[in-house]
Structure 1
Amino acid sequence: MYYTIGEVANATGIAISTLRYYDREGMFPDMERSSGGIRVFSDKELGTLKVVECLKHAGMSIKDIKEFLGWCQEGDATLPQRRRMFHDRLAEVERQMDELRNTMNLLRYKCWYYDTAVAAGTEDAVRDLPDEDVPEDLRDYRI
């Protein structure tokens, strides 16, 4: 199946200018063009686009993504590099998720803290509570 750049933009939510940028950067090396020079996206480019967006969300730079796509073009000789890159990226995302989980739990604690203080009409009602009066899952986030 083939798609116009507008159809791809609508389906993915990626701006047309970004799709053009990716093409200029060589991320779709086999993309065809119509007789009028208009980009024609295939399912192959859509697959590439999914990987590119995933890697961007995982914190990779465009430069590093281009390097990965180059490795893909080189074939099986680069399988170890590609494997290592994905394992490294997964470890980094897991680290980021741990940080976000800690941030979320501190926010949950503060929400409980201020909900309790507002309900009591004073922060004094919460500030000096013994640990056993703080919800067990929030105790580690008490400041």
Structure 2
Amino acid sequence: MAERTGLSVHALRFYEREGLLARPVHRTAGGRRRYSAADVEWLGICVRLRESGMPLAELRRFAALVRQGPGNEAERLRLLDAHQRRVEDRIRALEECRSIIARKVGVYAEHVARGTAAGVWDPTVGVDRP
């Protein structure tokens, strides 16, 4: 499972301990965990939700709702919709950051290529020095 999901064994145990799996993990007679294709897919969703910044408490709540089965889809939708809005806000903020960085890269690249980079945005210019 670790190989299929890209998660470490430690991370898999964490997801299990935190109640983030959609169903209990089946075990062999020898006690080894047996994951299904559905478990792999569910863990992939959980990983993406966490990577995108979903708080652990919300992910726990979402997993609990999924485990409860049909009838709570509206609440699941509310959780996912709120998270989607947060992700979209972060993407907009990051795009603004990327734009500023790209402009600065362009300015510096142009000065370096022309050999005029020395002193670009020098904070000591115009400052009285003791």
For this structure pair, what is the TM-score category when the shorter chain's length is used for normalisation?
0.7 to 0.9
Are 1:119 and 2:113 an aligned pair?
Answer: yes
The one-letter amino acid of 1:84's match is R
Larger helix percent? 1
- Trace 1:94-105 onto structure 2 (pairs within 5 A): 94-105=88-99
What is the percent sequence identity of the aligned residues?
27
Are 1:54 and 2:48 an aligned pair?
Answer: yes
- Secondary structure of the residue that 1:64 maps to in structure 2? helix
The aligned residue for residue 141 of structure 1 is none
The aligned residue for residue 31 of structure 2 is 37
Contact 2:5 2:40 in 1 (8 A): no
Which of residues 40, 49, 72 is equivalent to 1:78? 72
Shift of 1:33: 0.3
- Matched pairs, number: 119
Alpha-carbon displacement from aligned partner over 1:8-28 (angstroms, at most 9, x marks no partner):
111221111010111122333
The one-letter amino acid of 1:116's match is E
* Gaps in structure 2 of 5+ consecutive residues: 122-130
Following the alignment from structure 2 to structure 1, what is the Cα–Cα distance between the partners of residues 75 and 99? Answer: 36
The aligned residue for residue 3 of structure 1 is none
Shift of 1:123: 4.9
Q: What is the alpha-carbon root mean square deviation over aligned residues? A: 1.9
The one-letter amino acid of 2:5's match is T
Following the alignment from structure 1 to structure 2, what is the Cα–Cα distance between the partners of residues 93 and 80? Answer: 20
The aligned residue for residue 22 of structure 1 is 15
Q: Structure 1 stretch 48-57 or stretch 73-82: which is displaced more?
A: 73-82
